[in-house]
Amino acid sequence: MAHVITRPCCNDASCVEVCPVNCIHPTPDEPEFLTAEMLYIDPETCIDCGACIDECPVDAIYPDDELDPRDEPYLQINADYYRDHDVEGGLGSPPKRPQLPEGAQLRVAVIGAGPAAFYAAGKLAEFSQISVDVFDRLPTPYGLVRGGVAPDHAKTKGVERTFAQTEKRANFTYHLNVDVGTHITHDELCERYGALLYAVGAPHDRRLGIPGEELPGSFAATDFVAWYNGHPGYTERTFPLDGERAVVVGTGNVALDVARILLADEATLGTTDIADHALAALRESSIREVVVLGRRGIEHAAFTNAEFLSLGDLPGIDVVVDPGELTLSPQAQAALDDGSLDSTVATKIRLAREFAARPAGSAGKRIVFHFLAAPQEVVGDTAVTAVICRRNSYRPDGTTAATDESFPLTTSALVRSVGYRGQSVPGLPFDDERAVVPNEQARVTDGAGGPVLPGLFVAGWIRRGPTGGIGRNRLCGEQAAAAILADFADGVLPEPVADPADVSELVAARGAQRVDLSGWGRIDAAEREAGEAGGRRRVKLVTVEQLVATAQAGN
């Protein structure tokens, strides 16, 4: 018997660390880890010890004889990885713990409370000589785990348990609901902390750059996701749900999240932690079809195989793929024919062909994929009424080119899901072209070929751009922590000139209603208690006023 990794896999590689026979790949020290959709267990090597099951934070691993029928395709997906991937090299030697200066103390400010921030904080807080203060402008932590992961993917949010272990350490402090730049400045943090780690993500959406994009009814997936996940800044937003069709531009996992949420029934969403205002609005929605537009072919679709496969299990929703749109580039077709195509891409093509071969369904709702189709213009006088799309085709060199063929899609909702973009951080250099803070191995540089700026570090999407999920952010956060530890050990961090003990009073004097660990604990308990009463994971508080009042209750 072997174990199998399934859809919820978050790639944080906790399972890799405990596997005694090196049967889980790619490992963080293998190049494929940076682009892997998920991790895979080699059925020929697994010894059924169960260590990975106990360690997995998102409950994604099962013995092969206990798989739910809908997860049985993962037997093949796991096995396929080992057909064309060299897994030699193994886990490598565990990293040597740095020798920190005896008796020295370090205070680190972490700005941001998402996955990259938490994995960095977790590594730093392992050392009693280091104190970690985490700042976030929201009254709640966990970043995109709370505000980005789709509500119907509850298992993925299991990484919160890992974060909760870190936040309970004695040398960890929260400054939530504190906006760095408003309630405390970058320079004031530099005066009080020996190292500053910015892990502030990439909060803005990218644009399509086509006529009509600014019409009402055209909106960013980032805004829609924040709305249905209960982000306090989006509770008053409204979205056009009164038409029968929505068009989503983009083929990443976020695009699939949006499609699912737009079509999911109340029986599905009603058991999740979706925001109540979103649940009420979606209950009245008239949308029956979501069209997902991919400007390139299936081989370049950005969604993971696990997310694509799971669409076939949605109750009351048909998945429609036109077999005529599954054209491959000449290079991919040749590699598929001779068996040299990367297994992940080959699986994506196989799944698409299986969807295309399904008989026409009668579920009443459907997700329709159009590949090699690009939005050209958004049409409407005062609001979106249609999107004009053009057909693309592959050139001999594998790039795409526009054809003369176009087609309209009537719609009142156009969702732009073509990526995120970082914004400049006050006090730090910024690379406008890449939308990241310039850095060398997490150490901030001046961006002009000059030296590293001592004591300043970045992690996550603001460091490398909006690529990768929880697993990639764990690696990135831990790399930033390693850089801080190395610089501390080498004695190159700046010495603070002020005591951070005054931070709470300082931010309060500037209007911040700071939420500490106890306050977050009250919020968490209240949401979970409300959820338990309704058979849900939690019922989120969605305004700053509600969150702060709950955090301060009993003070």
The mean pLDDT value for 135-152 works out to 96
**Residue 295 labelled as part of a binding site:** yes
Given a contact cutoff of 8 angstroms between Cβ atoms, the answer to whether 447 and 231 are in contact is no
Evaluate whether 463 touches 439 at the Cβ level (below 8 Å).
yes
Contact 101, 55 (CB under 8 A): no
Residues 6+ apart with CB under 8 A from 304: 37, 38, 253
Nearest to 310 by CA among 264, 266, 270, 341: 264
461 is in an annotated binding site: yes
Q: What is the pLDDT of residue 29?
A: 84
Q: What is the pLDDT of residue 237?
A: 95
* 138 token code pair: 């929201």
Q: In this structure, what token pair is assigned to residue 176?
A: 């939530």
Show the beta-strand stretches assigned E in 22-105. 24-25, 40-41, 61-63
Burial class (CB in 10 A: 0-12, 13-18, 19+), 76: exposed
> How many CB atoms are closer than 10 A to CB 357?
9
Q: How far is CA 120 from the centre of its chain?
A: 17
- CATH number of the 106-203+422-514 domain: 3.40.50.720
Nearby residues of 533 by Cβ (< 8 Å), 6 or more positions away: none
Q: Give the pLDDT confidence of 355-412 residue by residue, as tens digits.
A: 999 998 888 899 999 999 999 999 999 999 999 999 999 999 999 999 999 999 999 9
What are 333's two structure tokens?
């077709």
Q: Is 70 annotated as a binding residue?
A: no
CA atoms within 13 A on the CB side of 362: 0
Q: Are 208 and 249 in contact (CB under 8 A)?
A: yes
Q: What is the pLDDT of residue 45?
A: 85
Name residue 545's amino acid.
E
Q: Which of 151-160, 211-220, 506-515 has the lowest mean pLDDT?
A: 151-160
CA torsion sign for 49, 51, 54, 60 is: negative
75 C-beta neighbours (distance < 10 Å), count: 16
For residue 50, what pLDDT is reported? 87
Measured CA distances, 73 to 67, 154, 265, 306 (Å): 10, 21, 25, 10
The reported pLDDT for the residue numbered 92 is 47
How far apart are the C-alpha atoms of 72 and 85, rounded to whole Å? 22
| 78-82, 269-273, 479-483: least confidently modelled range | 78-82
Q: Is 209 annotated as a binding residue?
A: no
Q: What is the pLDDT of residue 451?
A: 86
**Which residues have C-beta within 8 Å of that of residue 277, sequence separation ≥ 6?**
227, 235, 542
Residue with tokens 């009443």: 364
Are 74 and 161 in contact by the 8 Å Cβ rule? The answer is: no
- Superfamily of chain region 210-418: FAD/NAD(P)-binding domain (3.50.50.60)
Question: If you ran DSSP here, which 8-state letter would residue 37 be given?
Answer: S
Largest CA distance in the chain: 72
Half-sphere exposure of 92 (CA within 13 A, CB side): 9
Q: Tell whether residue 4 is among the known ligand binding residues.
A: no
Radius of gyration of the chain (CA): 24
Please name the residue ranges forming H helices in 43-185.
51-55, 73-81, 115-124, 144-147, 160-167
Task: Write b or e for each residue in 39-61: b if 16 or more Cβ atoms lie within 10 A of its Cβ, otherwise e.
Answer: bbbbbeebeeeebbbebbbbebb
Summarize the confidence of residues 306-314 as an average pLDDT: 94
User: Does the pLDDT at position 181 exceed 80?
Assistant: yes
pLDDT, averaged across the chain: 93
Checking if the pLDDT of 279 tops 90, the result is yes
144 is in an annotated binding site: yes
**Contact assessment for residue 115 and residue 192, using Cβ atoms and an 8 Å cutoff:** no
351 is in an annotated binding site: no
Q: What three-state secondary structure class fits 165?
A: helix
| Per-residue pLDDT at 90 | 45
Contacts of 237 (CB under 8 A, 6+ apart): 223, 227
CA gap 472, 76 in Å, rounded:
24
Would you say 307 is a known binding-site residue? yes
What is the pLDDT, as a whole number, of residue 137?
97
Residue 469 marked ligand-binding: yes
pLDDT tens digits for 485-536?
Answer: 999 999 999 999 999 999 999 999 999 999 999 999 999 999 999 999 889 9
CA triple 457-461-465, angle to 5 deg: 110
Contact yes or no for 458/442 (Cβ under 8 A): yes
Does 3.30.70.20 match the CATH number of domain 3-81?
Answer: yes
- 60-114 pLDDT per residue, tens: 999 988 888 889 999 889 988 888 776 654 444 555 678 888 889 999 999 999 9
In contact, 370 and 411? CB cutoff 8 Å: no
Written as six digits, the tokens of 221 are: 């997936």
More confident residue, 421 or 184: 184
The secondary structure of 502-554 as a DSSP string is: GHHHHHHHTT---B-HHHHHHHHHHHHHHHHHTTSS-----SHHHHHHHHHTT
The answer to whether 321 is annotated as binding is no
Dig out the tokens for 291 from the structure.
């069209």
Residue 547: which of 402, 538, 419, 30 has the closest Cα?
Answer: 538
Domain assignments of the chain as residue spans, ordered by start: 3-81, 106-203+422-514, 210-418
Q: Is 358 helix (H, G, I), strand (E, B) or coil?
A: coil
Instruction: Tell me what percent of the residues of the chain surpass a pLDDT of 90.
Output: 79
Q: How far apart are CA 291 and CA 374, in angstroms?
A: 12
For residue 176, which phi and psi values (nearest 5 degrees)?
A: -85, 160
The pLDDT of residue 66: 87
